[in-house]
Structure 1
Amino acid sequence: MQPEDLVRDHTIYACVTGSRAFGLATDDSDTDRRGVYVAPTALFWRFDKPPAHVDGPLPEQFSWELERFCELALRANPNILECLHSPLVEHADATGRELLALREAFLSRRAYESFTGYALGQRRKLDADLRTRGAPRWKHAMHLLRLLISARDLLRTGRLTVDVGAEREGLLAVKRGEVPWPR
């Protein structure tokens, strides 16, 4: 069985993530698709296990095998949590709906460390941009702020909201470089 077959034939949950789910899409935004598949049991009875993730088969599509997806969700991986909470669900079979029903169980205090850790990663990218290019890539600054807003709201409410809502225009202004960056 080819990896693409796992995604095509065994996907339990699929959604749109990225700028479209965040409410930050512009005319030139791509469509990031993420999903979860359940590999058939027989594939686990071999020396070579099924892949933990598959890139494709569609452009900008990435899927995880359910076990790996849950491991990452338990670590409060922001990409995984945002996938689980995406407002743009394209497919959810019965097992996918069970996974969605459990999504709140994956929210824990670990989210603070993981979201701020990802935000620090964006900050490091900004610092590297300043060193190598002399100016920040504004998209990195926007994502740093978006991650911190998500972490703040999650800590305040106990809920993860993916769409940035009222923060949209301010974040897009940062992305366009309209907000000064201290040097």
Structure 2
Amino acid sequence: MANANLPQNFNLIIPAGTQIVTKIEVKNPASDESWKQGLVGVIVKSPTDNSHAYLVKLPDGTEISLRRHELSIRKQFQSEGLQSGGDFLAEYNLYDSVIYRCIVGSRAYGLDHEQSDTDRRGIYQPPAILHWSLYGIPEQLENKENQECYWELQKFLVLALKANPNVLECLYTPLVETVSPVAQELLEIREIFLSQLVYQTYN
């Protein structure tokens, strides 16, 4: 059986007994019913070359013919699927999930000059579906070109509890550009993060 860590070789003849996943919609030869792609089956007969089709048995016993480009080896399909988190996250513009945006650094305190950067920091709250997914969520969104960094809400709170100076500055900067109701509630209780750890952090 092919190694799941290797890219799929379409010149390889896959042996009988290999589990596969369909990459196309498959029609039931015995009826008008069709199945969406992603169906699991087992190769029962392999062709002599890839110009011919594989005979594949489905879980209900139905046998269908599939060309090489119409199927994937199951182990490779699963391996590739778990590595495609970037594609999954690409469906979402996480910057739309920013709930708090502020300006920190010299510009926040009138110490800036013509060449000073505008440093934006804040919090983003990703959709729940991303928390539930296997791919997880980025702990922070960072755009170095625009000098922006937004921490995921839970990560932000953990850092605040540790008296992280960058996070505490976000909570106390006078220049706030975006604040959602959730972020406003956080600002109203920001003093709870001023613990003895502040001394250790800044000492």
TM-score greater than 0.5 by the shorter chain: yes
1:24 to 99, 111, 117: 111
In the alignment, does 2:110 pair up with 1:5? Answer: no
Counterpart-to-counterpart distance in 2, 1:72 and 1:64: 9
Counterpart-to-counterpart distance in 2, 1:67 and 1:106: 14
Letter in 2 for 1:85: Y
Whether the 8 Å CA contact 1:4–1:57 is kept in 2: the answer is no
How many Å apart are 1:106 and its aligned residue?
0.7
Indicate the percent of aligned positions where both proteins have the same amino acid: 44
How many Å apart are 1:93 and its aligned residue?
1.1
Whether the 8 Å CA contact 1:76–1:111 is kept in 2: the answer is yes
1:51 aligns with: 138
In the alignment, does 2:121 pair up with 1:34? Answer: yes
Structure 1 or 2: larger strand share?
Answer: 2
How many Å apart are 1:22 and its aligned residue?
3.2
- Normalized against structure 1, the TM-score is what? 0.59
How many Å apart are 1:46 and its aligned residue?
1.6
How many Å apart are 1:56 and its aligned residue?
2.1
How many Å apart are 1:23 and its aligned residue?
2.7
How many Å apart are 1:2 and its aligned residue?
3.5
2:178 to 91, 101, 105: 91
- Normalized against structure 2, the TM-score is what? 0.54
Counterpart-to-counterpart distance in 2, 1:85 and 1:34: 12
2:188 aligns with: 101
1:67 aligns with: 154
In the alignment, does 2:175 pair up with 1:80? Answer: no
Letter in 1 for 2:111: L
Higher relative contact order (CA 8 A, sep 6+): 1
Structure 1 or 2: larger helix share?
Answer: 1
Unaligned runs of at least 5 residues, structure 1:
117-183
Give the RMSD, CA atoms, in angstroms: 1.8
Query: 1:78-112 deviations in whole A, cap 9, x for unaligned?
Result: 01000111100001011110111121111111001
Corresponding pairs, count: 115
Judged with a 3 Å threshold, the aligned counterparts in structure 2 of structure 1 residues 57 and 65 are, in CA distance, closer, same or farther, namely same
* Higher alpha-carbon Rg: 2
Judged with a 3 Å threshold, the aligned counterparts in structure 2 of structure 1 residues 2 and 17 are, in CA distance, closer, same or farther, namely farther
2:78 aligns with: none
Letter in 2 for 1:72: L
Letter in 1 for 2:94: L
Letter in 1 for 2:120: R
Letter in 1 for 2:195: S
SS of the residue corresponding to residue 21 of structure 1 reads helix
Whether the 8 Å CA contact 1:16–1:34 is kept in 2: the answer is yes
Stretches of 4+ moved more than 6 A in 1?
none
